[in-house]
Structure 1
Amino acid sequence: MPTGIAFLMVIYYFCLMQDTYKTIEQAAEGYITEKKSKFFSFVFHVESPGEVKRIVEEHRKRYYDARHVCWAYMLGPEREEYRSNDDGEPSGTAGKPILGQINSYGLTNVLIIVVRYFGGTLLGTSGLIKAYREAAEDAISHAQIVERTVESTLTIQFGYLLLNDVMRVLKQFENVTWEQDFKESCTMKLRIRKSEFQRLYDILSRIYGVKIEKG
């Protein structure tokens, strides 16, 4: 196999094995001042754009008298879904520095909001970037960062005579959990770490009579 293709395959399988990500445990707050402007920052654990929208709207109402309510978020274990908003500040001076801090700490499933009360002195482009970056960082510094595991699921169906065979397989995996329904036949919904999913799938596939459905 050519070296270039081999390298790409190594990268591909390495990415498949990545099954942890960093986020925060609970909401936290931060605060800085810059030339009499006040920057109140808030960091939240979020799971969806809808949750982001709700929290941002709540803060717009709560801080209705603030000059700007700027924010950024990152979603998903692969950290591929993100967005930032300057809320009237010069383009790139608020949302991007906030998002930059999320990236700097390698976080995901996180929303950071920075509320600014204008102090009467213009900060300029560099001053705004610095202020929003430091405000976002201060909120993160007060949060507890945790590592979470990415899980995959599969559903299996089989007859009662195969139950012992299936259980022997499951006992080989420390990180597998399941829900079961043993009424008319045996149905089990399994959850396992992403990095171990394919091995579990392959072993179960070798048991004749076990039907497997991914997801």
Structure 2
Amino acid sequence: MNNYRTVFSYGEAEFIINKSRFIGYANHIKTEEEALDFIEEISTKHRDATHNVYAYVVGENSNIQRFSDDGEPSGTAGIPALEVIKKEDLRNVVVVVTRYFGGIHLGAGGLIRAYTKGAKIGLDAAKIVDMVVHQELGIKVDYNLYGKIENFLLANEYIVDEVTFDTSVNISIFVDREELDRFIKTITDLSRGNIEIKKLDLVHLPILDGKRLK
């Protein structure tokens, strides 16, 4: 289980060049089937468009990479869209760039630039994020130590998922896997060992500018 980059959600943006309208779409997907479903959805929405070009990368190791020029000259549409995904080092992403022809031919170079831009603005609209591996921890601490622990967690902006109050205070928290050992040592020292820490699941969390997105 490794960190990787992807998009957070659905994104859409458009521009016009030489009277041709280009609409860039992007979305987060987990399987090739989800990618194909999204492509079909956009192609159906724009069935009257001149072209619906697509590209996608599936798998944390980029195992599956596909593209289509959808009738544009070979190498001028699908590959440029795929190259944007690869340049951004993204995984589990699908891009569709829709074109409504405006009557003016753009030439091979113009098409490459247009489809590159269409893919890029779609991805930007979908918010590029880092999917960072976090360890979920269950922490149990006495009430008299909770204030100190809470201040530490807030000051260091750890991701606290839930706090419940029973005979003890139970804290569900996510910690970046790379910081885990340091976190456990620090919080154990802070509580002088009077704390219970249980490792739960490893999960990917979307992180943008150091903050978790929900």
TM-score (norm 1): 0.61
* Letter in structure 2 aligned against 1:74: V
Name which of 29, 34, 54 aligns with 2:17. Answer: 34
In 2, the alpha carbon distance for the partners of 1:115 and 1:193 equals 35
Residues 117 and 56 from structure 1, CA distance in 2 versus in 1: closer, same or farther, beyond 3 angstroms? same
Where does 1:58-77 land on structure 2 (aligned, <5 Å)?
58-77=41-60
Determine the structure 2 residue equivalent to 1:25: 8
Contact 1:23 1:110 in 2 (8 A): yes
**Unaligned stretches of 5+ residues in structure 1:** 1-17, 152-172, 176-189, 195-215
* Letter in structure 1 aligned against 2:130: E
Contact 1:77 1:150 in 2 (8 A): no
1:93 equivalenced with 2:59 (yes/no): no
Name which of 141, 146, 165 aligns with 2:124. Answer: 141
Where does 1:113-152 land on structure 2 (aligned, <5 Å)?
113-149=96-132
Contact 1:72 1:95 in 2 (8 A): yes
Where does 1:169-180 land on structure 2 (aligned, <5 Å)?
174=180
Determine the structure 1 residue equivalent to 2:61: 78
In 1, the alpha carbon distance for the partners of 2:39 and 2:122 equals 16
More strand by share: 2
TM-score (norm 2): 0.62
1:104-137 alpha-carbon deviations (Å, 9 max, x no partner):
1111100000000000011111110010001111
Residues paired across the two proteins, number: 144
In 2, the alpha carbon distance for the partners of 1:29 and 1:62 equals 13
More helix by share: 1
User: 1:75, CA displacement in angstroms?
Assistant: 1.1
Q: Point out 4+ residue stretches in structure 1 off by more than 2 angstroms.
A: 190-194
* Letter in structure 2 aligned against 1:25: F
In 2, the alpha carbon distance for the partners of 1:45 and 1:99 equals 15
